[in-house]
Every structure is written in C-alpha cells, then in structure tokens.
Structure 1
Amino acid sequence: MKRYRHTQILALLETRSAIRATEAAEMLGVSVGTIRRDMAELEAGGYLNRTHGGAFAAIEGEAGFMRRTCWNRDKKRVIGQAAAAHISSGSVVFIDGGTTPEAMLPFLVEKTSLTVVTCGLNIALQLLRWPYISTILLGGEVHAESRTVTGTLPVTQLDSFGMRFDMAVIATAGISAEHGATNRMLERLALKQLVLRNSASSILVGDSSKVNCAFLGRVAPLSAFSLCIMDDDLTDEQKAKLSEAGRFEFVPLEGSRRR
C-alpha cells in the first residue's frame, strides 16, 4: 500500500504545482499522519519538497529526469522486455521519448536490420551503444525536463518525408478506461497522434502507477492501440475495466504485492 500511495502522490504532483496533505489523505483514504510520513520519505528520496501542510514537486531538469528513470524501474524493465518481444527484425519502428520506452532498448540488441525513428534524446543517445541499429532523431524544440523534441517541426518532418512505421511504441503520462491515453504536455500530442495514424501496429507502454490518472491532452482512446502493455500490480477490478477499453497485456512483476 505504501508504494501505491507514493506513486499516487507523485502522479498528483504531475498535474499541479502543489498538494495539501489533507487533500491527499482524503483522496487516498488514509490519515493525514500517514500522508505526512509518505511525503517525508519521498522528500528524502528527492522526489518532492515538503511545505507546511503539504508538498510541491521537485522534479525538474536533469535531476528530475534521472529520478523518473529510477522510479518504478523494475516495472519499466518488464514492460520494456514485453514490448521488445513484439518487434521483429527488419522493422521500421517509432520509439517515443520517455523513461519507459528507454527500458525497452537493451532487449532490442538481438534484432537485426532494425531502423528506429525517435523524438527522444535519451533514446537516440542510448542507441549509440548499438551502432548496427539505424537511428533517426527528429529535429525540433528540445524540452529539457523530458529530453524530447517537441513542437511542429517533428510533425512537419514526418509529413514531408511521408514516414511510415511497422510499429510504434508510445509512452503516456496517464492511462484510464474513460479518458484513454492522456498527456500533460499539449505540444507533444500532434506527433503522437500522427505516428499512430502512420503505423501498421502500435503499443502503448506505461506502468501501473499511471492508471486512473487523466491529463488535459488526450492522445487517443485505449482501443486505438494494437496493444497496451503494463505491469500487473493492479487489482482484478482495475484489470477488467482497462481490458474492456482496450487490448491489454499485463506483465507479471516478480515479488510485487497485490493490493
């Protein structure tokens, strides 16, 4: 339960600049004292800064990206491994920016004649380790916190070159049966949506901490993706609800607790 509360507190802080302990306690159904202890532990890990009565997000720039890379690392690894199993040698693949798609890269090393197109600086830099994977980095405005290329330029490049993909791996900030895949950065929506339209198959990747989080910008309904891959650290009710909205593969996480 503690891990669940921690992920939900951080998810809330992605949608606003600050949150009060009383508000978080009411939303999560626990005491204010429990939330304060949770916030103290998260502050010790560098994930937030506490204030009198609540906390505000501490994720920004280089440090913030590294924290997100470490957060839920085991979940991202099993998701990445499962996603890589759906990619065939000889494919042209779009890999979205973000820490979850990055976790997939080590599992692509055995693929041959692979071409990767990406908007993620982190993806392109990691792929330098495997020069036999042809890598194309789209150009545009760089968003430092997410290490992604955003804006209209990457969309224009896809259009002008008529790029088509055998597979697209898309990341998202929020996943819910009602709202689908959502993102808090509106400037990234157009690229994700164009890639979906130009791909023969698509995979949505996101760990279970993103479930029931909804942000302002909607990427697509869950049914728009060929497959959604997520760790199985969810209740049976949550899995059933998501599976009604889209096709899901819930990947077992060894040693995870069931809520």
Structure 2
Amino acid sequence: MVIAQMSEREKEIVRLLAGDPGIPATRLSEMLNVSVVTIRSDLADLEQKGILVRTRGGAAPAFHPNVLERQSLRVEAKSRIAQAAAALVNDGDTIMIEAGTTTALVARHLLGKRFVNIVTNSMLILPYARTNPGIHLTVVGGEFRPASESMVGPLALAELERFHVRLAFVGTDGFSLEGGLTTHLVEGGEIVRRMAERSEQVVLVADSSKYGKVGFVRVLPVEGVHRLITDTDLEDRAERELAGVGVQVFRA
C-alpha cells in the first residue's frame, strides 16, 4: 500500500498521526471536519491495509515518516517509470528489486505476469506480492532499517550472493556522469553493488530530478547501468550524455 492509493483524508490522518500518535479520534474528527464514526472507520481501514498500527490511546503509522514522505513525492512520474520498468519483465523471469519507493512500485505493475521470481531486500514489496499469484518472492534476511523499510548488512549481502538473475532494478539518491550512482547510506550502496554483481543487466529507475545530484556514497559508475527508466522531464542533453557511455534511456 502506498500514498498514491490513499484518499486525501487518509493521507491527512497518517500525516497528523505521524506527528502525534496520541491524537484521539474525537480530535481528528474536529480537525478534519467529519464525524467520529467516519474517523474510526478510516482508522480501521488504514489498520487493515497495514498503513497504521493501533496503539493504546491512539494509532501510529506502520511505516517510518521518511518512507511516507518519499512516497508522496512525484507520485505520477514514479508510477509511469515503474510501469515502464515492469514491462521489461517476462513470464518466468528472474529479477532483483532494491529497496526504494520507486523500485517497489515495479512489483505493483507486475500483475498479470506469470512465474516471476523476485529477490529483494525491500519490505515495501510485500503488499504487492501478497495479492499477486504470479510472483514468487524471496526477501533476504539481515538488519532491518525502518527509514528505508529494507534489510541490509552482512547477512543480506551473503544471501544475495546465492542468486543469479536477469535484471536488477535499483534506485539512487543522485546520479551523473562524473559521480556515478550515489546514495546517502553506506549499507544501501553495498546492496546495490551486490545486486549489480549478481545480475545480467542493471536497470536504474529514477525520476529526472535525481540527475546531477550527488549523494554521500558512490555506488556504481554510470557505465555499470544498462538501462535508465526515467520521466519525460529529463533534458535532451542529459540523455545524449548517458547514451554516450552506453546507457539506454527510456523516458516514460
């Protein structure tokens, strides 16, 4: 379940509870100008969908605020990118999906595919795998990082080493010709490198706002990416630069 699939009122409820999990239903009803019955129904629905966890005296988001915030950014562009990326997957395929809000959406758009084996370190994929009988999902173990809803660390890296896949779908906090693919988290960078080693092709799914940005950790050279799936706002100059080093660019 992602922000894009929630109503505006549900989004506001989650935002308010992220700031103060102790807000009672009566106060939420006043703040949102709806009945207490409606609020309680919304809370029950959000809990059933796995968005909220009911607590003693209130409720709290099931996901880290950082994840919820990232899911709310450039929603339409991310969905188009993910749909185009999912189109690369064939029936019977083997793929890896790295943790991230855009990469997780790739799994959402695999509905209708058959016998797709996915290896991932992302917990965000679970809702899509749960409702898609065509997916066989393997989630690697490791240390759980709430801020990215991901499994990282030595155990995750060791388990990824056991697999070989055709495609690895990865994200980035920023990428450029000079800086390559970068991220703000060392552990996340290690996961991407391992997935690149264990796949035949690396597919970068990233919106155009990431181009030219540089994160804390260099993950891969741009030449290590076979395809970039991005949005239509990517400048022609950037596409030419990337094509010049062998990256196939598709703007969705």
How does the TM-score come out when normalised to structure 2? 0.71
The root-mean-square deviation of aligned C-alpha atoms, in Å, is 1.8
Whole-Å separation in 1 of the counterparts to 2:126 and 2:181: 24
Structure 1 position 146 matched with structure 2 position 148: yes
Residue correspondence of structure 1 range 194-233 to structure 2 within 5 A: 194-233=194-233
Residue correspondence of structure 1 range 106-255 to structure 2 within 5 A: 106-159=108-161, 162-252=162-252
Q: What do the CA deviations read for 1:96-151 (whole angstroms, capped 9, x no partner)? A: 11111122223211111111111001012331121331111111111111111111
Moved over 3 A (4+): none
Hey, what does 2:107 align to over in structure 1? Answer: 105
Residue type matched to 2:212 in 1?
N
Whole-Å separation in 1 of the counterparts to 2:133 and 2:115: 11
Matched-pair contact (CA < 8 Å) for 1:222–1:228: no
Q: CA deviation at 1:85?
A: 1.1
Whole-Å separation in 2 of the counterparts to 1:146 and 1:114: 24
**Secondary structure in 2 matching 1:79:** helix
Of residues 77, 83, 87, the one that matches 1:81 is 83
**Secondary structure in 1 matching 2:92:** coil
Whole-Å separation in 2 of the counterparts to 1:250 and 1:158: 28
Matched-pair contact (CA < 8 Å) for 1:228–1:246: no
Whole-Å separation in 1 of the counterparts to 2:100 and 2:231: 17
1:126–1:107 distance in 2 versus 1, CA, 3 Å = closer
Residue type matched to 2:167 in 1?
M
Matched-pair contact (CA < 8 Å) for 2:94–2:117: yes
**Secondary structure in 1 matching 2:71:** helix
Q: CA deviation at 1:234?
A: 2.7
In structure 1, stretches of 5+ residues that fail to align are 1-44, 47-60, 253-259
Residue type matched to 1:117 in 2?
V
In structure 2, stretches of 5+ residues that fail to align are 1-14, 17-62
Whole-Å separation in 2 of the counterparts to 1:123 and 1:132: 14
Bigger drift between 230-239 and 200-209 goes to 230-239
Hey, what does 1:22 align to over in structure 2? Answer: none
Structure 1 position 95 matched with structure 2 position 97: yes
Matched-pair contact (CA < 8 Å) for 2:181–2:221: yes
**Secondary structure in 1 matching 2:66:** helix
Whole-Å separation in 2 of the counterparts to 1:175 and 1:195: 17
Whole-Å separation in 1 of the counterparts to 2:225 and 2:236: 22
Hey, what does 2:5 align to over in structure 1? Answer: none
Matched-pair contact (CA < 8 Å) for 2:180–2:219: yes
Q: CA deviation at 1:246?
A: 4.1
Q: CA deviation at 1:226?
A: 1.6
What is the count of residue pairs matched by the alignment?
192
